[in-house]
Structure 1
Amino acid sequence: MTAAGSNLKSLPLIWLPFKNPIIALLLVVLVPVVVSIVIGALTFINRIRGVYFSILSEALAVIFSVILVGSQSYTGGSNGLTGFKNFMGVDLYQPAGKLTLFYVALIVLTLAYVISYQMINHKIGRILVAIRDSENRLRFTGYNTSIYKIFIYAFAAALSGIAGALYVCQVGIITPTDVNVMFSIEMIIWVAIGGRATLLGPVIGALVVNEFKTIISNYFPSLWYYFIGGLFILVILLFPSGFSGLKDLPHYLRTRKTLRQLGSASDTSSQEVVSNEPNTIAKPSQNFSKDIEK
């Protein structure tokens, strides 16, 4: 793969190994995995989770982006690295090269889905679901939940590294903007809109959001962030399970209707019971004053 920084005449020596496709493919996976294992070990062993983990993740994204901007002699600064023209003999600027990248991305997505599906239906998948539902209960049964969380964190980092490499090949440029907070939040929105409890949901969310992004950015560039924020709030309020949960909407409506009918029947029965009871409380005794005097 060939590339050059916008402010660099040639790539620094640290980038030379990436000219070898095999080394580039290995480092695309190994670097994110190693970094995620270090961060995951420091985070999960200290039982940092929930909102604190989210804040830490966004803070790391900001730090990493600032480091890339400040290391202009190595990363091209805010302009990043450009000129990714070919990879393994494929001209990335030609339509045939773009089509090849599309099929490669489709194959990688399919493999990632199959591996994730098999993992979920394996013992480790059931343990991860148990961690999601009640981590403390699982820890009390003797499981070291930190190990499983570090593993799935590293697995997600490996997938992210591969996806990032394919993204760079497709657009031909990588800048610090691609690792900032807004981009990571946008990916969270993909998951929320598609449905975080399913494997296919985030894929659907990514396709839907990016299609809207293309359309709206072409006609109303300044309104994109307002639109994505409004869509995110709408989905959270009305469809907490995302678009993938729409298939359960008929069942939800039927259940709600049944509960409403049961509630109405219960209220009617209560009124009938009250009306059939002797009205001893509503009508005070005629000898009430005499009873008091006694």
Structure 2
Amino acid sequence: MNDLRQQPASFRLIAILLAIAVTVPILNLVVPQGSIFHVETYTVSLLGKYLSYAILALAVDLVWGYLGILSLGHGAFFALGGYAMGMYLMRQIGDRGVYADPLLPDFMVFLNWTELPWFWHGFDQFWFACLMIALVPGVLAFVFGWLAFRSRVSGVYLSIITQALTYALMLAFFRNEMGFGGNNGLTDFKDILGASLQSDATKVALFVATVLILVAVYLLCQAIVNSRLGRLSVAIRDGEARVRFTGYRVENIKLWLFVLSAVIAGIAGALYVPQVGIINPGEFSPLNSIEVVVWVALGGRATLYGAVIGAVLVNYAKSWFTVEFPEVWLFALGGLFVASTLFFPNGVSGIFKSLGAMLRRDQIQTREAK
């Protein structure tokens, strides 16, 4: 019944996203800069970043909201997908880098590397990069999940382990000898699929691609949660022992959804990198994964559309606070989370549901009075 009630909200969200995918490019490319309706290219890229975060929030909501797995490591899957895209973009620079080496990225020349590492081969092809964007986070999630779920690690212990995994990867990627740019990461990208990343048209195309992939991921997640698998996931969340007693292989269900969620997070990272222009080990920071959980909690767990709303609202607030009151942002984020827990535990989506229920009651009372 909850899924049926969520459908109108889902339809409205998808309609808004598709409308944005049409309107924003027109306002950027067609409307002249002097007009008050013109949307700056910077704003287009900023919106694209927010919507990339929304895809990441969907990945977290799928496993936390519907399966009960509080993952504090999805920032790692996001960063791995981002690095896979960054490696492709670095290979596209060729001899246009500072050191004009046609094969080695600038940071490798600076560090006196003499040949391209084996794990960089193939990233000059877009299809190979796309494969790695899904495969690397997916394989890591499969190995981690297979070990954790078969050992029946759950609850706070699983959350701590996922956070430790993220922290370990962050420390590894900071090392220069790993071959991923060390502290500076990967940046100074030139083009993607032959199109300049500095072009307004390319930035708009990336934005539109992000919107369309967000809609596709949303529909996929909605199809899953409305299916038998989704009902089993909610049953596991609410009573894992009972589901296991009825004969279901709970660890397989957890593993499948956890891997899918990791792949979605990797795709989000891949969309994020060309729009922001950099990927560095800071994206592995455990704090980033915790922030994603805050987005989902504020938007509303187990609603999907709430995750999208929470990601956009919190990151818009972050952008505003870091410009106007940079020293206050972390306190504001903590305050938002506490306020959400105390005053609207179902998040922003819960407020919308309550308002909708009040309006329906008023309409019924009005009809009865007549």
Conservation of the 8 A alpha-carbon contact between 1:195 and 1:241: yes
Whether 1:197 aligns to 2:284 is no
TM-score by length of 2: 0.65
| Residue equivalent to 1:28 | 133
Bigger mean CA offset, 90-99 vs 121-130: 90-99
State how far apart, in whole Å, the 1-side matches of 2:200 and 2:161 are: 41
**Structure 2 residue aligned with 1:83, among 170, 182, 188?**
188
| RMSD across aligned positions (CA) | 1.9
SS at match of 2:123: helix
Sequence identity percentage: 39
Conservation of the 8 A alpha-carbon contact between 1:191 and 1:205: yes
Per-residue deviation at 1:85? 2.2
**Structure 2 residue aligned with 1:183, among 288, 303, 318?**
288
| Residue equivalent to 2:108 | 8
Go from structure 1 to structure 2 and tell me whether the alpha carbon gap of 1:139 and 1:52 turns closer, same or farther (over 3 Å shift): same
State how far apart, in whole Å, the 2-side matches of 1:138 and 1:120 are: 17
Whether 1:132 aligns to 2:232 is no
In terms of Rg, which structure is larger?
A: 1
| Residue equivalent to 1:162 | 267
Whether 1:233 aligns to 2:338 is yes
Conservation of the 8 A alpha-carbon contact between 2:172 and 2:178: no
Q: Which runs of 5+ in 1 are unaligned?
A: 255-294
Conservation of the 8 A alpha-carbon contact between 1:197 and 1:241: no
Q: What's the CA shift string for 1:45-76, capped at 9, x where partnerless?
A: 11111111111111111000000012445011
Go from structure 1 to structure 2 and tell me whether the alpha carbon gap of 1:27 and 1:157 turns closer, same or farther (over 3 Å shift): same
Conservation of the 8 A alpha-carbon contact between 2:240 and 2:250: yes
Per-residue deviation at 1:251? 8.2
| Residue equivalent to 1:221 | 326
Which letter maps to 1:104?
A
SS at match of 1:18: coil
State how far apart, in whole Å, the 1-side matches of 2:290 and 2:166 are: 10
TM-score by length of 1: 0.82
Go from structure 1 to structure 2 and tell me whether the alpha carbon gap of 1:215 and 1:6 turns closer, same or farther (over 3 Å shift): farther
Whether 1:244 aligns to 2:344 is no
State how far apart, in whole Å, the 2-side matches of 1:246 and 1:6 are: 51
Conservation of the 8 A alpha-carbon contact between 1:90 and 1:97: yes
Runs of 4+, deviation exceeding 6 Å: 251-254
SS at match of 1:48: coil
Aligned residues: 254
Conservation of the 8 A alpha-carbon contact between 1:6 and 1:79: no
Conservation of the 8 A alpha-carbon contact between 2:176 and 2:183: no
Bigger mean CA offset, 232-241 vs 34-43: 232-241
State how far apart, in whole Å, the 2-side matches of 1:55 and 1:227 are: 24
Per-residue deviation at 1:192? 0.6
State how far apart, in whole Å, the 2-side matches of 1:210 and 1:38 are: 31
State how far apart, in whole Å, the 1-side matches of 2:116 and 2:183 are: 16
| Residue equivalent to 2:123 | 18
Q: Greater relative contact order: 1 or 2 (C-alpha under 8 angstroms, separation 6 or more)?
A: 2
